Amino acid sequence: MLILIDQDGVLADFERAFHAAWQQAGHDFPAVALECRTSLHVRDDYPEALYGAVEAIYTAPGFYRELPPIAGALEGVRGLLEAGHDVRICTAPLNQYRNCVTEKFEWVERHLGADFVDRIILTKDKTVVHGDILVDDNPDIRGSRRPDWRQVLFDQPYNRQLDMPRMSWASWRETLAG
């Protein structure tokens, strides 16, 4: 199968890095714990007056480059390749793209190797990308086409309210390797 895998929130731990950076910044408003997050976009869980401070963190140089891998993600990707699947990273850049785009590529090279950079598909519209499965933490993927991929939701606290087929890296074999 052709398996498309999202980067932020599936391979790279955007949430853990943001939480740590917000705590480090010393804002009076406390960092929202991952289990309490309610929306894909972290900004939505903070007061509007702090949106600028929130965006300043994830648009800062190095934020995307230094994201820690999500537990089990790198092993899961390698396992899917070893199982004979064609794996591509299908990822959307921030609108504030300047650091994000380069650092997403640097992240893949650092954690999956230089050859894996050839497997990156960078798009703001994932519905135009061909694939059999898309693993993504976004519960509301919108675009210009009816996609031919079937989404498997990557389990995160902010998408648990939805009754959709889902996985974590602890369960990828049962969900994807079939």
Residues involved in catalysis: 6, 8
Residue 67 corresponds to which tokens in the numbers above? Answer: 């994201």
Residue 86 bridge partners (DSSP): 2
Select the residue interacting with Mg ion from 3, 5, 8, 134 (CB under 5 A): 8
> Which 11-50 residues touch ligand LXEULUCI, going by CB under 6 A?
14, 40-43
For the chain, how many residues are written?
178
Residue 169 corresponds to which tokens in the numbers above? Answer: 């890296």
Site for ligand LXEULUCI contains 64 (CB under 6 A):
no
Residue 92 touches which of Mg ion, ligand LXEULUCI, none (Cβ within 5-8 Å per kind): ligand LXEULUCI
Residue 161 touches which of ligand LXEULUCI, Mg ion, none (Cβ within 5-8 Å per kind): none
Site for Mg ion contains 6 (CB under 5 A):
yes
Identify whether the C-beta of residue 108 lies closer than 8 Å to the C-beta of residue 102: no
Residue 133 touches which of ligand LXEULUCI, Mg ion, none (Cβ within 5-8 Å per kind): none
Q: What angle do CA 59, 139, 98 make, to 5 degrees?
A: 20
Burial class of residue 149 (count of CB atoms within 10 Å of its CB; 0-12, 13-18, 19+) = buried
- Residue of minimal CB distance from Mg ion? 9
CB of 10 to Mg ion, least distance (A): 6
Give the binding range for ligand LXEULUCI (CB under 6 A) out of 24-32, 76-84, 91-99, 145-153. Answer: 91-99
Beta carbons within 8 Å of 155's beta carbon, 6+ residues apart: 137, 166, 167, 168
Pairwise CA distance, residues 98 & 143, whole Å: 23
Site for Mg ion contains 9 (CB under 5 A):
yes
